[in-house]
Structures are given as C-alpha cells and as structure tokens.
Chain A
Amino acid sequence: MDPVSKVSDYRKLEESVTLSTVEGPLGASGSDGASTELFTLNMGPHHPATHGVLRLLVTLEGEVVRDLKPIIGYLHTGIEKTAETKSYWKVIPVIERMDYLAYFFNSMAYCGAVETLLEVEVPKRAQYLRVIHMELNRIMSHLVWLGTAALDLGAMSMFWYCFRERETILDLFEQSTGQRMHTRYFQIGGVIEDIPVGFAAKLKYLTDEMPRRITQYEALLTKNEIVLQRLRNVGVVDEKTLLGLGVTGPLLRATGNPWDLRKAAPYCSYDDFDFKIPVGTVGDNYDRYRVRTAEMRESVKIIEQAMEGLPEGPHITEDRKIALPPRHELATSMEALIHHFKLVTEGFRVPAGEVYHPIESPRGELGCFVRSDGSSKPARVHMRDPSFVNLQSLSTMVEGSYIADLIATLAMLDPIIGGVDR
C-alpha cells in the first residue's frame, strides 16, 4: 500500500468519528467480546497524575474502573526506625520529612506526645506561635493541593496563582524559622526562636490579601462549567463507609460530619479562637473542593486572631533540663554551660510510658505514638498518617466510575506519598 492512500484511509476513518455522546464504554455494543473483557492497567509509580510515587493497579472494563489496588512503599525511608537511634530533640528534623507538605503538623504531633510524657508546660506565647505557623502551613498545603488538583482537571493558570501565594507563605517561614520547608521550628517545650521584627507586618499583608485571592480562585473554579462537570456527583462515598475506613479530615467533613480535632478536642490553645468548621452535604469531589477552600478562609481568621492576641512571655519553656539555654547565658553561667553540654551530647531523658497524641493536619487526624523506655532515645515512634489511612478509601470512591474520574478523585483525595510511605 502506498503511503498516500494509507493517510487518506486514516482521514476517512477520522471523519467517521462523530462527536455525539457514547453511552457506556466505547464499543460496548460490539459483538467481538473484546470490549467487555477486563484488563489491568498499571498506573505509576512514576506518573504525573499520581502526585508522587504511588502505583495503582487498575482493573478496567472498557473505560470503567472495576477494581483498584494501591501499591505503596516506593518512598519508604524508614524514618520511624531512624527516630529510634536519635535523642528526642534530634528526632524532630526527620519526623518533619514524613508528610512534606505539613511539616509543622508532623513536629507538633511528635512534640505534643513527648511533652505529654514529660508533663512539661508550653508557654502561651509558644502555643500561639505554633498556631500561627500551623495555620499558615494548612493554607500552604491546601494551596499546593488546589494548584495540582486544578492542573489535573486541565486548569494550568490555577497552578501558577496558587504557587504565587505559596511562595509568600514560604518567605514568611524563611523569615521566622530560617528555612522554607522542614524548619525544625517547633521544639519540645515551645518554639526555637521568637518571631523576628518585620514578621508581623508581612503576615498582616498576607492575611489582608489572602481572602481576596481565595475569592479570585473561587471565581475561576467554583462555577466553572468544566469543574462542575468533572467534580459534581463524582467519587461520592457516604459518611458511614468513610468512618469504617477510618477517613478523617476534609474528606469526612465533605459528607457533613463536622469532626475536627481543633474544635472537638482543642490542643495548643485552639479553644481561644473563633472559627467555623466548613462541611459539605453529599460528599462528592465538589464538596471536597468547597470544604478545603472554605478552610483556607477560616485559617486566615485564626492567624489574624492569634497575631492580634499574641501574649507576651517566653517562647520556650524555662525548664533548662529540656530546652537549650539562651546563647548569651553560656558566656556567663556555668550552669547554663553544663545544661547546654548535657542536652547536646546526651539529650534529656523521658520517663517511661506510652502516649498517643492526635492533632488535626490538613488531611485529617495525624497521630503520633511515642513509647519511652526511660532513656534519652524514643523506643518507638509511630505516625498515624492521614494519607496512609485515607488512601484505602480510593477504591471505594472510584469503583464503577470512568478512569478519567479516577484522576480527579485521586487529586481531591490529596494523598501525600511522603506521609503514606514514611
């Protein structure tokens, strides 16, 4: 066959394709039996739409997902094992690298668990500073989710807008903690340093600007025809099934259950602030989107209140057996030098015991289990990461839907593979 007629044959075939709606999987009416055959597709581990090194084994019938199995572990770094070889305060940097978009939350869960074991009092100012950083982190994490999820739906510009605001937040982190990510800012008993001069003004700029920016995102997406068609009534799972699967966070709140640990069991002075818990109604992908964007607004409110009412006082516990003494004391006080030496070489010892400290991360309940055997190193650190648990609900969400909706649902689930594999 000469190449010219080959091309023209293809053109004829192309012209025969109509743009009318096809009910059911393509070619379902065919009598060859090929279209009703199940086949298994391997997605990932390196796939741009899986948000990290997640591998999905998808069984398809035509274009309809019949079964899905997540295969995880490609990003397993053994952080929990590493934590057992380090003294308590040196664990914080590795713990933060688990869920790499929620580093303040990881260290908060861990520090909270160790503080419970030590029964140490955290000063009020430190608690407020923690709240400010955690809520900034929540907005930052939701911005990354919004940008990448919109990218999966084909909205390229959202990605740039979201990352522009994320950069502003990361600049704030750099100013107060010295690092953009994995900051090691939260310490056992408080925070490592007070906020610097000029931080408050920059934060004020952000909290003034952020609601307007969120309104812009919503103007782009909320009533967007493509977003509505791709998200509404897709991936619906009822509340009872989600509770059985252990799902928490925005996914559970999208079904109408207002479970949020910040309200239900306030930690870290969250009961001082006035904020609402956004909930959805049906629990589809659109509700998940609405809940998260509404959460960003509430976080802005919390930050404003915390900055407004930021109490004076120490930013870390005065207990020198736990927290490092201030640098200037080392030159004048022998005691301070001894404490510094003991803390840096051996670390502090923690009384034997087991605690589970849950907090509300951007993705749900983030719990840290710490077991101490009385030495200066933890005997067991385990993170109950919400991504790890929430990922189990993916197959329930997508069974019976099209493979294109699988991508949208996975984006709305917002799993962070660093947290899944730890």
Chain B
Amino acid sequence: MPDADGLEMLAQRIRDLRADAVIEVTHNHGQAMIEVAPDANREALVVLSEQGYSFLSSLHGVDYYPDEPRLGVHYQLLDMDRVDRVGVKLRVTLDDPAVASVVDLFPTADHHEREVYDMFGVVFEGHPDLRRILMPEDYQGHPQRRDFPTGGEPVIFTYNEPQTPGWTQ
C-alpha cells in the first residue's frame, strides 16, 4: 500500500488533470482509497494505471443506505511490480445511477460491471453488453440493495401452486 504521502501524491496527479476530481483521500487499516467525483472515474483510473497500478483486480458495488449518495462503486487497482494496491471509489445517487464504463481500459471489468448493474442498478454507460448476469433476465429489482427484502418470494411446491395462478408467465 502506498503510504499517506505517496497516496496524496497520486491524488495530486489526478487533481492536476481535473481540479475537482478528487473528493477525499483516506488511509485506513493499511488500505489506500481515493474517492473521486462520479464522472471522473475514467480519468482517475487512467492516471493511476500510468503510475503502474495497471491491473484491475476487483470491482465491487456497495449500497450505503441510509446515507446519501447511496450507491458506491469500488475499483481495486494493483501494481504487480511494486506489489502495491490502491482503491478508487465513487458514489452516485439512486436518481442518476450513471457511471462511465471502463471495459475498454480494463477488459476484466466486463463481468464485474454487469454484476454491479444486476445487483445494485448502477448503469455503466458505454458497456458493450450491459445485461443481468446472475439474476434471471426478466427479474425485477436489484436484490443486493440494502432495502431489498430477503425471503420475499414464495417457493412453489405442488401444494401451493394453485394459489399463485399464472406463475409460469
């Protein structure tokens, strides 16, 4: 992990490109995290990958309910030469959950972005094939959101099948 000074220098390089891009720089539990503006994720990732953090090891979706803005997207970048990791995160609101896709920069983001779209409803603009990946295609809602209830769907057995007419449709 870069130390606090190294992290601040990385953040400064992103600020050089766009002054308002970096919102917050945190260094907790030995993990470096840069929070960027929702529309600055591509710039930040390009700057960091030029600095050697060129391997996107993971991408997670997070729901910060009840805080606002609710939805978060985390990118975990890795520098394989210096064995160093840095995280980039951004937060978007439920009303405008649009984030620029990074599939053209990191092909590995393809499945990850589809999963975050599926589970949280974050729309990745520019993704070549943004469909549900784990849930069925006709599924309603985004189940990993914190206000989505668990166990709401009845399991259909022969005894309760007549009570749910039209379930096959």
Q: Hey, which chain A residues are within 8 Å of B30, CB to CB?
A: 116
Contact A245 B57 (CB under 8 A): no
- Which interface residue of B29, B57, B135, B136 has the most chain A CB atoms within 10 A? B29
Which residues in B have their C-beta under 8 angstroms from that of A421?
Answer: 134
Q: How far is the CA of A389 from the CA of B58 in the complex (A)?
A: 9
How far apart are the CA atoms of A85 and B144 in the complex, in Å? 12
- Across the interface, do B143 and A78 meet the contact criterion of CB distance under 8 Å? yes
CA distance A388 to B58 in the complex (A): 11
In the complex, how many angstroms separate the beta carbon of A119 from the nearest chain B beta carbon?
7
User: With an 8 A cutoff between CB atoms, is B111 at the interface?
Assistant: yes
Q: Of A73, A119, A379, which one neighbours B146 at CB under 8 angstroms?
A: A379
Q: B67 — nearest CB in chain A belongs to which residue? A: A373
Give, as a whole number of angstroms, the nearest-CB distance from B143 to chain A.
6
How far is B28's CA from A119's CA once the two chains are assembled, in angstroms? Answer: 11
Question: How many Å lie between the Cα of A413 and that of B153 in the bound state?
Answer: 35
Given A80-B144, A116-B30, A384-B80 contact (CB < 8 Å): no
Q: Please determine whether B146 and A84 come into contact, CB atoms closer than 8 angstroms.
A: yes
Chain A residues bordering chain B, tally (CB within 8 A):
41
Q: Which of B49-80 contact A (CB under 8 A)?
A: 54-58, 60-63, 74, 76, 80
Q: Are A73 and B136 in contact (CB under 8 A)?
A: yes
User: Which one of B33, B108, B133, B136 contacts A245 once the chains associate, using CB atoms below 8 Å?
Assistant: B108
Contact status B108-A246, CB under 8 Å:
yes
Q: Which residues of B contact A422 (CB under 8 A)?
A: 134
User: Which chain B positions have C-beta within 8 A of A369?
Assistant: 58, 60, 74, 76
A391 partner residues in chain B, CB cutoff 8 A: 111
| Cα-based distance from A388 to B112 in the complex (angstroms) | 9
Q: How close is B137's CB to chain A, nearest CB, in angstroms?
A: 9
A388 touching B80 in the complex, CB below 8 Å, given contacts A84-B146, A119-B29: no
**Is A202 in the interface zone, CB < 8 Å from B?**
no
Q: Which residues of B contact A119 (CB under 8 A)?
A: 29
Cα(A78)–Cα(B142), bound, Å: 12
Contact with A along B71-92 (1 / 0, CB 8 A): 0001010001001010100000
* A81, B111: Cβ atoms closer than 8 Å: no
Q: How far is the CB of A65 from chain B (nearest CB, A)?
A: 19
Q: Taking the complex as formed, is B12 at the interface, i.e. its CB lies under 8 A from any CB of chain A?
A: no
- Pick from A178-186, A187-195, A349-357 the stretch touching chain B: A349-357
Per CB-CB distance, the 7 closest pairs between chain A and chain B, nearest first, are A246-B108, A384-B58, A73-B134, A76-B134, A382-B60, A369-B60, A264-B83
12 additional contacts (CB under 8 A) given A81-B143, A367-B76: A72-B133, A81-B144, A85-B150, A116-B30, A244-B108, A355-B29, A356-B60, A356-B74, A358-B57, A382-B62, A384-B57, A389-B111
A residues contacting B by CB (< 8 A) are 72-73, 76, 78, 80-82, 84-85, 116-117, 119, 243-248, 257, 259, 264-265, 353-356, 358, 365, 367, 369, 371, 379-380, 382, 384, 388-389, 391-392, 421-422
Q: List 23 A-B contacts (CB under 8 A).
A: A72-B134, A73-B133, A80-B119, A81-B150, A116-B31, A117-B29, A243-B55, A246-B56, A257-B80, A355-B31, A356-B85, A365-B57, A367-B57, A367-B76, A369-B74, A380-B62, A380-B63, A382-B60, A382-B62, A384-B76, A389-B111, A389-B112, A391-B111
Residues of B that sit less than 8 Å from A by CB: 28-31, 33, 54-58, 60-63, 74, 76, 80, 83, 85, 87, 106-108, 110-112, 115, 119, 132-136, 143-144, 146, 148, 150
